Amino acid sequence: MENVKGAKHQEVRMLNRKSLDISGVSNVESFDNEEFLLETECGFLTVRGQNLHMKNLNLDQGLVSIEGTIHSLAYLDGSSTGNKSKGLFGKLFK
């Protein structure tokens, strides 16, 4: 598949639910040992799990590496609520 100039590009690689590499990250909004909230080219992404820690962070290249026990990955795009007027915190704290 050819990458069109200016098109959104993100790659997520997970190995054995213990190691996660994500490209296309523009900002780390918040993180703790159970949840990361990342702003990516494809929307806000939450990573949930246990004993999570950041192994590598390079926002110049848009790369984040997370280690720990990964339970879920979810994009917060608002399509499930049907209400796009809510802000980021409205989506997080339903």
What are the boundaries of each domain within the chain? Answer: 12-77
Mean pLDDT in each 10-residue stretch from start to end of the chain (94 residues)? 63 96 95 95 95 96 97 80 52 59
- How would you classify the pairing of strands 63-76 and 12-15? unpaired
In a 3-state reduction of DSSP, which class is residue 14?
strand
CATH number of the domain located at residue range(s) 12-77 in this protein = 2.60.40.2000
Q: Which residues pair with 56 in a beta bridge?
A: 65
Asked whether 11 and 23 are in contact (CB, 8 A), the reply is: yes
Asked whether 76 and 94 are in contact (CB, 8 A), the reply is: no
- Give the per-residue pLDDT at 91: 57
- Give the per-residue pLDDT at 83: 45
Tell me which residue has tokens 């926002």. Answer: 59
Amino acid at 60: D
Please give the model's pTM, rounded to 2 decimal places.
0.75
